Amino acid sequence: MLSLSNSSKNVSIFFRSKRNHILSNRESRSISITTPVPTHDQISHLILDQKSAFEALDTFRWASKLPHFSHTQSTYRALVHKLCTFRQFDTIHQLLDEMPSSIGSPPDDDIFVTVIRGLGNARMVRQTINILNLISRFNEKPTLKIYNSILDVLVKVDIDIARGFYRRKMMACGVKGDMYTFGILTKGLCMTNRISDAFKLIQFMKKNDLPPNTVIYNTLLHALCKNGKLGIGRARSLMKEIVNPNSVTFNILITAYCKEDNIIQALVMLEKCFNLGFVPDIITITKVMELLFIKNRAMEAVEVLERVEKKGGEIDVVAYNTLIKGFCKIKKVKAAIRFLKEMELKGCLPNVDTYNSLIYGFCELGLFDSALDMFNEMKSVGIIWNFDTFDVLIRGFCSKGRVEDGYKILELMEDSKSGSLGHISPYNSIIYGFYKANRVDSALDFLTKMGTRFPRGVHRSSEVLACCEEGRMGNAKKIYDEMVLEGGVTSVVVYVSLIRGFCEGKMIKEAFEIVDEMVKCGYVPDVLILGGLINGLCGEGKVGSALLFLEDVIGRGWLVDSSCYSPLIDGFCKRGDKHKGLMLFMEMVEKGIVPNYFGWNCVVECFVREKRWVEGNNMLEWILET
């Protein structure tokens, strides 16, 4: 008989023999004496590779007829596992019953654990608990491993059932739990946010001379951190009890502080982590870096990554992409390019996300030739364009008024294998491009043409536009809300129509709600929209709120004109604050904005009413000259 050890040739001979044997005649023919005897691992893998319960069982029976081969716990376990996949639990019971006579021993713990997990996946709770009775039929006592396996299944279904099992089936029977037992219970309590019960369990462990290990503490820390600032505070206090914190401990707390936008405490924990010789995982590090970029602390993000590398942490493409994306967002593309070169020198190859970030950065700066160079470079280095590549480039062109160029990229996307993947955003970008170029009719025509690709979305948009045109703003808002609930992405013309309709109907609060949604989509309101909103606030007597809104608009770098200033000038003058009104007028003139008739009229009336205030004052002459 040939030996199978260290012989891939003999293994392949066996598998071909087995396959041909089954196909030709499973029952009557036996394997040739020249075929090597398979190992138990080979038979186990063969059983697991079968596509149905019948085939797995048939393979098992076939193997039992091979000369010089007998089944063991491992091959039975493989069959049990496969049968659990197909929920053939009655057949499993029959197999277990035959094992003492077949191989001379009852099922071992690993087989029972396999059955327990199979029942758990099938959510058969009662049958899972009854495994204890099944084990007793073999004159065996369930081990702690069996109890823990059942407990682990139960906590995923219902923590109260799990706790009842622990009390009635374990404690009452004198079964003492171990660290794994209490770890399972802690996990179940934390999954259901029963933090106080988890703390009681930890106190119980301490009283019974079983101090919780780091895994249990980390489970509780993670649950606490999901409960906001108060939970994170308690987690920080609890950390002092941990004798041997590990990198996971710090990952949990650093991530929690980042989620709460608390970069100071995140950095404190990061420093402590480094000082103890630990390095957080790359996911945690990227969260810190992302928050540092948000806080305009870009160079500190670079320093964090450099320290991770010096501490022996692995720097992958995700980490470099975080740096590149961060610098592109703050419009420092040269720095992003430097890190692109650095990662390549270190053998870390850029991917599609790397290039998409750089394309975005160049588009934000209006460097479209460089953006297209990146776009073309992707193809030359074998990186396939994805939807985001096209989407970023189309949005970049259209947001800067180059709608024709955006349309060319759209056509290229439609000709690609992936296409738009059913996403409407590139098409909405084209509409936004027409809107930015004051080509409203072209935007509406393009929206109509989109109906062949997005019939539902275009139909709902047309309904909103029609309602706004007719002044039925209640109906328009209802349809819009339904679109949002359905997951629809609204185009800029819908947003603009809603805002104008609400402003005309003196529904200013609703108008501002739509503006917020519009801005979240990356659309910038034009001067007509901004002027209408400011005029609406002033009409409600909320001149102070209108001024704050104007200051916010200017701070964002949005374009304003006299229609934004004039309502404010009028509002302040009418409430008696002539000085503030005149100061706003002067600010407008200094910005090079030509006052409209309404603005001039307000100032003239102000001067006429305040002759004494302007006596000896050459302000009017200065304004006229300017």
Minimum mean pLDDT range among 449-463, 536-550, 611-625: 611-625
Shared domain for 521 and 550, answered yes or no, is: no
Has residue 464 been placed in a domain?
Answer: yes
Shared domain for 546 and 620, answered yes or no, is: yes
Has residue 440 been placed in a domain?
Answer: no
Range of the structural domain that residue 608 is part of: 532-625
Q: Residue 174, exposed/middle/buried by CB under 10 A (0-12, 13-18, 19+)?
A: exposed
Number of compact structural domains in the chain? 2
User: Structure tokens of 227?
Assistant: 């409960």
Confidence (pLDDT) at 586: 84
Has residue 499 been placed in a domain?
Answer: yes
H/E element holding 363?
Answer: helix 352-364
Out of 463, 494, 525, a domain closes at: 525
Shared domain for 542 and 617, answered yes or no, is: yes
Has residue 550 been placed in a domain?
Answer: yes
Cα separations (Å) of 268 from 231, 264, 294?
Answer: 18, 6, 18
Provide the pLDDT confidence category of residue 581 given band limits of 50, 70 and 90. confident
Out of 470, 495, 525, a domain closes at: 525
Shared domain for 541 and 609, answered yes or no, is: yes
Confidence (pLDDT) at 254: 97
**CA-based diameter of the chain, in Å?**
122
Shared domain for 478 and 549, answered yes or no, is: no
* Count of other CB atoms within 10 angstroms of residue 446: 20
Task: Write out pLDDT tens, residues 471-493.
Answer: 999 999 999 999 988 888 889 99
Confidence (pLDDT) at 16: 47
Contact 36, 4 (CB under 8 A): yes
Report, in angstroms and rounded to the nearest whole number, the Rg of the chain calculated over CA atoms: 35
Confidence (pLDDT) at 622: 54
* Sign for the pseudo-dihedral over CA of 189, 193, 194, 195: positive
Provide the pLDDT confidence category of residue 602 given band limits of 50, 70 and 90. confident
Minimum mean pLDDT range among 450-454, 557-561, 587-591, 607-611: 607-611
Estimate the crossing angle of helix 562-574 against helix 597-609, to 10 degrees. Answer: 30
Shared domain for 521 and 468, answered yes or no, is: yes
Has residue 587 been placed in a domain?
Answer: yes
Confidence (pLDDT) at 303: 97
Shared domain for 514 and 537, answered yes or no, is: no
Distance CA 598, CA 544 (A): 20
Instruction: Answer yes or no: is pLDDT of 66 > 80.
Output: yes
User: Structure tokens of 139?
Assistant: 């004159």
DSSP 384: P
Out of 525, 553, 571, a domain closes at: 525
Shared domain for 513 and 536, answered yes or no, is: no
Shared domain for 570 and 509, answered yes or no, is: no
Confidence (pLDDT) at 580: 86
Shared domain for 621 and 578, answered yes or no, is: yes
Provide the pLDDT confidence category of residue 624 given band limits of 50, 70 and 90. low
pTM of full prediction above 0.85: no
CA dihedral 173, 178, 179, 180 (to 10 degrees): -70
Provide the pLDDT confidence category of residue 575 given band limits of 50, 70 and 90. confident
* Count of other CB atoms within 10 angstroms of residue 287: 20
Has residue 6 been placed in a domain?
Answer: no
Has residue 504 been placed in a domain?
Answer: yes
Distance CA 133, CA 154 (A): 17
How many degrees, rounded to 5, is the angle at CA 482 between CA 478 and CA 485? 140
Shared domain for 497 and 555, answered yes or no, is: no
Task: Write out pLDDT tens, residues 38-59.
Answer: 999 999 999 999 999 999 999 9
Has residue 240 been placed in a domain?
Answer: no
Shared domain for 616 and 572, answered yes or no, is: yes
Provide the pLDDT confidence category of residue 606 given band limits of 50, 70 and 90. low
Distance CA 113, CA 208 (A): 27
User: Structure tokens of 126?
Assistant: 């009662």
Distance CA 599, CA 589 (A): 11
Task: Write out pLDDT tens, residues 504-554.
Answer: 999 999 999 999 999 999 899 999 999 999 999 999 999 999 999 999 999
